[in-house]
Amino acid sequence: MFLHVLVIINLLFTLPFRWGDTLKVTFLGDIMQHQAQLDAARKPSKDGDRFTSYDYSSYFKHLESRFNLSDLRIANMETTFSSPPYSGYPVFNSPLALLEACKNGGIDIFLSANNHICDKGGKGIDGTISAYNSLNIPYAGAYRNSMERESLYPFIIELKGIRLAILNYTYGTNGINIPEPFTVNLLDSVQIKRDIVKASKHEPDFIIAALHWGNEYNLFTSAEQKRWKRFFNRHGVNIIIGSHPHVVQEVETERGLFGETNRITAYSLGNAISNMTAPNTRTGMILTLRFVREINGHVRLIEPLHELIWTSRPGAVEQNFTILPVKDFIDSPHLFKKKEEWRRMKHEYSTLKK
């Protein structure tokens, strides 16, 4: 159903192409794993067996039709994968079953430079990388050591004859020191400039920066986000995808003299799925970048597609948590087993649309 093909430059996806083909790359926001999500996914053990299994199969069920229209899907994974006990906020640690479900649900690449990657120390980072490797899932943002970072970063993708470089950085790690010899990509202007130069040597058609930044729960972009946006633009990065505020912020499209799309900045995609209760944290966004290689070889960026999604709680639509495309459900209260869930979704959607 979904493409999971590797390898040429670092981890390089390949797809045949024809002139005029459109490459679609879809981004999701924060995949969280709070305690309520762990509890809902836990399956009863059999015959008194101490082994506990988890079922996350409903998470991406309602996004399948969207994912099928995209060539590549990328998400911010805001939890670690280490040995039990598993836990939610403030120290995130999740079972491998979550990562398996994300891969089976269609997500191809995970971003790991975020403020929770050091929650379980070196053991958590090592376990997370081991989890990605065991499932043959590409990732960016955190590495076992500087040598590994040097060999795997920047992340280069080639699909339909279009080459993209993916950069991934976080503003910090919640005050937790990054344990040696592990490395986590931080918003460090000196290092970022070096990374952009290195990425440019691969001659990408576009460089995309996935940034964990901004102020939590704030619908409006901060001065710091604007400053970093200008920095990346000034150094040749014209596509920025943001996460961390846990709410949706604006998507800014800049155009050239003839109306062509030159730059795209999605300041925050909000949560893909979580158990957050603060206002506007249950509505997120999926954003699809579109690239076209023209007959003269030039790759053109065209208007992105984006739509709102909603985290539905257990028992409202599915037995477990699930992500709903809002426009498929906004006028269909009969699809909800709990009408209050539909009313909350509609209210939050109306608020954000204003």
62: β partners = none
309 or 293, higher pLDDT: 309
Average per-residue pLDDT in the chain? 93
DSSP labels, 44-85: PPSTT-S--EE--TTTTGGGHHHHHT-SEEEEEE-SB--SSS
Please determine, for residue 188, whether its predicted confidence score (pLDDT) is greater than 50.
Answer: yes
**Cα distance between residue 299 and residue 296, in whole Å:** 9
Whether the link from the prior residue into 154 is cis, omega within 30° of 0, is yes
Nearest C-alpha neighbor of 9 from the set 159, 186, 170: 159
Q: Are 243 and 74 in contact (CB under 8 A)?
A: no
Nearest C-alpha neighbor of 74 from the set 271, 249, 245, 210: 210
**Cα distance between residue 256 and residue 222, in whole Å:** 25
Model confidence pLDDT, tens digit, residues 220-273: 999 999 999 999 999 999 999 999 999 999 999 999 888 899 999 999 999 999
Residue 194 φ then ψ, to 5°: -65, -40
In Å, how far are 20, 35, 91, 112, 119 from 88, measured between CA atoms? 45, 4, 6, 17, 10
**Cα distance between residue 60 and residue 103, in whole Å:** 10
Radius of gyration of the chain (CA): 20
Model confidence pLDDT, tens digit, residues 118-151: 999 999 999 999 999 999 999 999 999 999 999 9
